[in-house]
Amino acid sequence: MTQGAATGRLQNLSLAGPAGLLLALVPVAAALRLTANGGGYTIDDWGIWGAATVVAAGVALVGQPVARLSGVQRVLPLSLLGLALWSYASIRWAAWPQSALVEGNRYLVYSAAVTLVLVVLPAQRWRRLLVAVVAACTTLPALQVALQLWHSPNALARFEGGRLVAGVGYGGGLAAAVAIGFWPLVAFASDRSTPRPMRPLAAAGAGLVLATVVPTEARASVWALVLSAIVFFALCPSPIRSGSIAAGALLPTLGMWHQLNGVFASAGVSHAHTVGVSIMLVGLIAGSVGLAQVMLDELVTLPPVARRAVAVAALVWLVLVLAVGSVAALAVTDGHPVAWARHTLQRTVDKVGTEGGQAAGAGQAGSRFGSLDTGRYDLWKVAARGFRERPAEGFGAGNFGYLNVLIGRPFLFPYQAHSQLLEVAATLGFPGLALYLAALLLPIGACIWLRASRTQPKTDQLLAAGIGGALGYFAVHAQVDWIWQLSSCALPALLLAATAVAMLPPGRERPRSLVTGGAALLLSVLAAAVLIVPATLAQRYLERSYDEPAAAALSDAHRAGRLDRLSGRPDLATARALLRTGDTAGALAAARRAAGAEPKFWVAWQVLAETAAREAQQRSALAARARVRLLAPHLPLELRAEVPGPSFDHY
């Protein structure tokens, strides 16, 4: 059979349409699953889903024999792929090489996810349906949480420190996982082309996700929503209609603000039931507003003059709201808003610099939203210093934790800079920064182009506005939090980004040869089998070994060692298991192997110091402690004379 005949047969098996949509839903299902199961932070959570996504992208490339992407459209997947390849290259100079491998795998999965959308969804109706599914999947965790808080007798378990964390385990992560769907839901609810029964449901979903953000106490999420509103309404072709839907979610959320913050304000006293009821009420009110708009669309058709009158009235109302807000701001700041803001910011910076300032804890205030105190400032300084020291190559992908432990002051444990821009700058240098900015700005630029283009139908412009608002939200939130490392948050955002880029004018159709498609599939399978799956299983074995009886723990540590040849974590797990049995001599030998395999990992040296001291090998103990002081000069006193917990050992 000739190559032309093979290509023709492949065209008959094209994955475009429903089959392509099902393939593109693999990362959607991954995000939904991970939202309920840890958020998808460590690779043992997301690795198998990531491998499936990478293989799905290979299947898409071999099953779609016609290449339609323009040069601009190729920038998004190639920039993410470039981040993956540069991360793999950084293994050579990274202090923690296995962490660089895992971070490269993360970028590879993200590249595969956007490739799926760009390749298998060439028709706008399928892309629109994908956005609807992504938006709907952000409402499901909000609805599930509300129902659990309403009915579950153990509802308080969904909170941590007074903050709603649910299945993600982190308030900011839960907030991002649901809030990413807010503006697409508003767009669908206000779009006349959306099926009428779905519009009130979309409006109700917008209310649910917005109300769910409040009890997470995620200040970054609230500010990101405020700033993303500017993006959405700047792009929105029907700001009044969409504004009424957004107001239908916002006003009841503000009205029930104190009820939504009830658990945090009560220092752990169970107000969880009230929070669940409040979330449901906000969703019900927002859905009612959406239903009212549908009914008005059926009953009233305004002539052009009346529409202009409504627009003018809305503008006057907006000016009045801004005027009232300005007066209130002047009253709160004693007539000096700029001086007040400067004084508050300086006080926050000073407090962070001396105390590592944090927001009020549960029971100390009505919510966290009244405070600007945060530990992020010190993390950002560490990342900026790292970028200045190594601007060309960075410290290696996934190695901010090493840098933070080395130069952070005061010592903070986070392995992320809580700003993706600074994280990339510190770990991947200028090349990584350029690739990240391309992946970040291209989809937003696509939304702007779609709004400005006169050839695009209004419904597509409204969809682009919804996507633009979501991407604006994610871009802002990701600069003050570590949601990029949570697959439950990043995957929906990247799928929306790919949809926006896919709506740009396609390139000239070119047949993709059987050889090219087969090579793409083979590479995707190899990448999943060689890069992602071994690291996933290694982390899974390590995590399991920490809680197992000694014999099983040693077996799992040995399995992890066969899969992880870049770090000393498997030997460290062996040392931990032997310490539990009292075999300090064996633990000392394993700790020495761990320190030799990963000489810049402070935990290995700390374990070595403690085991050497127990074996009365004082010279080895003193040498190991000296190495700990070099690698972690600001280690807290309580950790200097004990074996650190295994929470430090993840990749």
Q: How far apart are CA 69 and CA 504, in angstroms?
A: 9
Is the residue at 638 inside a domain? Answer: yes
Is the residue at 183 inside a domain? Answer: no
Determine the Cα angle at 197 with ends 195 and 201, to 5°. Answer: 110
pLDDT < 50: residue spans in the chain: 1-13, 348-349, 351-357
Looking at residue 56, its pLDDT comes to 96
Q: How far apart are CA 563 and CA 561, in angstroms?
A: 5
Q: How far apart are CA 1 and CA 9, in angstroms?
A: 10
| Cα 359 to Cα 264, 414, 468, distances in angstroms | 12, 17, 31
Q: Which domain holds residue 558?
A: 547-648
Looking at residue 377, its pLDDT comes to 87
Looking at residue 342, its pLDDT comes to 56
- The number of folded domains in the chain is 1
Q: How far apart are CA 163 and CA 264, in angstroms?
A: 6
The pTM of this model reads 0.91
* Nearest partner of 74 among 61, 62, 87, 89, judged by Cα: 61
- For 452, residues 6+ apart whose C-beta sits below 8 A from its C-beta are none
Q: What is the CATH number of the domain that holds 643?
A: 1.25.40.10
Is the residue at 607 inside a domain? Answer: yes
DSSP run (H or E) holding 295: helix 272-299
Is the residue at 530 inside a domain? Answer: no
Looking at residue 8, its pLDDT comes to 45
Q: What is the b/e burial string over 79-101, where b = at least 16 CB atoms within 10 angstroms of the residue's CB? A: bbbbbbbbbbbbbeebbbbbbbb
Q: How far apart are CA 47 and CA 40, in angstroms?
A: 9
- For 590, residues 6+ apart whose C-beta sits below 8 A from its C-beta are 571, 572, 574, 575, 578
DSSP run (H or E) holding 511: strand 510-511
- Residues 221, 172: contact at Cβ < 8 Å? yes
Q: Would you say how long the chain is, in residues? A: 651
Q: How far apart are CA 424 and CA 579, in angstroms?
A: 37
Is the residue at 38 inside a domain? Answer: no
Looking at residue 321, its pLDDT comes to 61
Looking at residue 78, its pLDDT comes to 97
Is the residue at 204 inside a domain? Answer: no
Is the residue at 480 inside a domain? Answer: no
DSSP structural state of residue 510: E
Is the residue at 577 inside a domain? Answer: yes
Q: How far apart are CA 322 and CA 53, in angstroms?
A: 46
